Amino acid sequence: MAGAGPAWWALSHAQVAIEALATVAFAASGLIEAARKKLDAVGVVVVAGLAAFGGGTLRDILLDRRPFFWVEHAGWLWVLLGLSIAAMLFMRARHFAYTERAMLWPDALGLGLFTAGGTQIALDAQLPAIVAVLMGMITAVFGGVLRDIVCNQIPAAFSDHRPYAVCAFVGGWVMVGAHAIGTAQWVALVAAAATATLLRLAALATGWTLPGWGEAGGRSR
């Protein structure tokens, strides 16, 4: 899971359910990558765990927060183990393409929700605005980055040119702005999450990409 804390769990049950869906989506992305690399059972669990929990854990380390969220909410570890076992038993190569496409939409929701939650946690700690925004980005993005590094490839968030971290960056600033004008916390969380999510969905729907090194015009290939 890429973002949890006291402020985050104050959200409605519906929003917590969406967070759970996004957590499962991030874990599934790790399972798909582990299957492609033909890892053993331990590798599958580790890669899925990094995808699901890595961003929030890195944020908590940087903010010196204890206990880590997955220690405080240990039930998520059982969810991860269950998903890993189910994937190893039932997932086959023919499922990968469909599953990867299906994960893009809940992944976009996760991006927004975890951006908002991570930024709020940093603001609650009275950190400067730019640091809070970066903490939101780390929460949302770095699980996938750690997953790809362990699987020995350039992280997709840095190389596939589809806006991802940029969406989290913008969503984080929406949270900061809403916090600055005294907006109710739940409204700020929803606004920030919706901004990052909708930007990501728009990029997916239009096929818009960021330019690569030495390229211009918003197309990389």
Q: Residues 77-135: pLDDT tens digits? A: 888 888 888 878 876 666 566 666 666 777 788 788 889 888 988 998 899 999 999 99
- Give the Cα separation of 102 and 7 in Å (integer): 29
pLDDT of residue 220: 44
Those residues whose C-beta lies under 8 Å from the C-beta of residue 75, and which sit 6 or more positions away, are none
Q: Residues 140-173: pLDDT tens digits? A: 999 888 888 888 888 877 877 888 899 999 999 9
- Give the Cα separation of 142 and 120 in Å (integer): 17
Q: Residues 23-63: pLDDT tens digits? A: 777 787 788 878 777 888 888 888 888 888 888 889 889 98
Cis peptide before 67 (omega within 30 of 0): yes
pLDDT of residue 156: 76
Report whether 178 contacts 120 (CB < 8 A). no
Q: Which of 79, 94, 97 is nearest to 19 (CA)?
A: 79
Cα–Cα separations (whole angstroms), residue 121 to 117, 197, 219: 6, 19, 35
Measured torsion, CA atoms of residues 27, 30, 35, 41, in degrees rounded to the nearest 10: -70
Mean pLDDT of the chain: 80
**Encoded tokens for 71:** 């220690």
**Encoded tokens for 55:** 């961003």
**Encoded tokens for 114:** 């975890």
Q: Residues 180-207: pLDDT tens digits? A: 998 888 888 889 989 999 999 998 888 8
